[in-house]
Structure 1
Amino acid sequence: MIKNVHGNTVDLLGEAIVSGRYAVGGSIPSESMLCEELGVSRTVVRESVKSLVAKGLIVTGPKVGTRVLTEDQWNWFDPDVITWQAKAGFTPEFVRDLQDLRRVVEPAAVRLAAVRATADDIAAIEAAYAGMKHAIEKGGDYVTFDLRFHQGLLHAAQNRMLVQMSKALNALLRTSFEISTAKKDGPKSSLPLHRAVLDAVIARDPARAEKAILILIDGAHKDIEQVLGSRRRLPRLSRPARPIKVT
């Protein structure tokens, strides 16, 4: 999606804050300095600052100026904040926060999906599964279809708040899928686990669906902890997903 001048300015300032260019508790540059640095009008800068205030990144006022807030005050359910963190690089603490969130949210969502999923929901998840299977057998973009599979499950819960929460979870899902894809036979070994989740949803069996998704989540958790423990660099989500190559 192509953003306008305001959207681009919000992105530039947001990325600068999340990456630590502007220190917590410190001031961001003045309006005039930002206008000159970014080549935009005062109106654009003011509207961008308002957007960042709404996202919890900064506070502004006559006595405090415009200052960067601590991370615990940022809106971590805002897709832009997640995207900026992804570009800056995930910290182990951030990834573990998301892992905890996933273990709380996704099993509950899958239980609901097993009760509420429509025929269209099932068809969308089946199509995503078919894309994963094709990528394993013929090569291609496995990660995108894996994301669609899990997004389909959350959508099938028929809960608007869970759908919004999935935007935050996407960052963790993409990270864990990238790590899984990099492991030898990782996607191939996880495919039947995905099938077990889908079959349980189709069978309208909430308990079985929850048990199956927990097996998937715990496997992903183990993979990520191995990467964090080895201090290898986590995947950068600003890059395209790594395709599977069939030899």
Structure 2
Amino acid sequence: MTIRNVHGSTVDRIGGDIVAGRYAPGASIPPEPMLCEELGVSRTVVREAVKSLIAKGLVSSGPKVGTRVLPADQWNWFDADVIVWQTRVGLSPEFLRDLQDLRRAVEPAAVRLAAERATPEDIAGMEAAYALMKDAIEFGGDYVTPDLRFHQGLIAASHNRMLVQMSRALAALLRTSFEISTRRKGGPASSLPLHRAVLDAVIARKPDRAEKAIRVLIDGAREDIDTVLASGKRLPQIHEPPRRIRATA
């Protein structure tokens, strides 16, 4: 195992334990010697892992107080690792509500800008993603990856550097939503024309129409999430490969 893999697996183990509640907010994680013995790694690896967890907002460290777990509201919820650890524990209704609220705040504004600023290259990229989504529905396959590419393309077409940076941070969150939607029977097939409506409005340079269309799409995703939650079906684990959907009859 390489040094990078050792570091990554150590961060994954400690971070996962924190998110899973093994160490309560305000509590100290075990001291370095204990973690070294438990994880089979060196002190250097543990120290570097703690630095990574500090950057993710999971812990704080200081003289005489050790390394303490911070409350969940201080964690970096735009960090892909934090999202993965949370999905392993389970996605709470509150987490999913926050995700949908965030989408409603960010995506409509980005889509309005995309309808004003999208270049031919932007349109071509979204058309390609849409075509892959359509193929997945008709012939079976990975629907989630091109769905994510489509939405990231919309945000990229805003040509707003801050929104584009945010879209990269949101990727894991968006994938969570898209994975859940594929759990609902007919979910991808019913959402495909909604994606088409968004893209057509962007192509037509109609910001109001584009914003209205993306809101319909987001609200549909919320309904999918509510339906899956009510059914008690297993929720997705985004560290797993994207779920492949079956071809429509």
Q: For the residues of structure 1 that align with 2:44 and 2:29, how far apart are their CA atoms?
A: 17
Alignment of 1:1-247 (within 5 A): 3-246=4-247, 247=249
State the TM-score, normalized to the length of structure 1.
0.92
Q: What whole-Å deviation, never above 9, does each CA across 1:74-102 have from its counterpart, x for those lacking one?
A: 11122222222223321111111111101
Q: For the residues of structure 2 that align with 1:64 and 1:4, how far apart are their CA atoms?
A: 29
Question: How far is 1:136 from its partner?
Answer: 1.1
Q: For the residues of structure 2 that align with 1:183 and 1:57, how far apart are their CA atoms?
A: 33
Question: How far is 1:153 from its partner?
Answer: 0.7
Residue identity over aligned pairs, in percent, reads 73
Q: Confirm or deny: 8 A CA contact 2:115 2:204 kept in the other structure.
A: yes
Distance verdict in 2 for CA 1:137–1:151, change over 3 Å? same
Amino acid at match of 1:123: A
Question: How far is 1:194 from its partner?
Answer: 0.5
Q: For the residues of structure 2 that align with 1:86 and 1:189, how far apart are their CA atoms?
A: 25
* CA-atom RMSD in angstroms: 1.8
Amino acid at match of 1:204: R
Q: Mind listing any 5+ residue stretches in structure 2 that lack a counterpart?
A: none
Question: How far is 1:168 from its partner?
Answer: 4.3
Q: Confirm or deny: 8 A CA contact 1:86 1:171 kept in the other structure.
A: no
Q: For the residues of structure 1 that align with 2:62 and 2:182, how far apart are their CA atoms?
A: 47
Q: What whole-Å deviation, never above 9, does each CA across 1:186-230 have from its counterpart, x for those lacking one?
A: 222211111110111111111111000000001111111223344
Question: How far is 1:39 from its partner?
Answer: 1.7
SS in 2 for 1:113: helix
State the TM-score, normalized to the length of structure 2.
0.92
Question: How far is 1:185 from its partner?
Answer: 2.3
Q: Confirm or deny: 8 A CA contact 2:80 2:172 kept in the other structure.
A: no
Q: Mind listing any 5+ residue stretches in structure 1 that lack a counterpart?
A: none
Amino acid at match of 2:184: K
Q: Confirm or deny: 8 A CA contact 1:180 1:187 kept in the other structure.
A: yes
Amino acid at match of 1:41: S
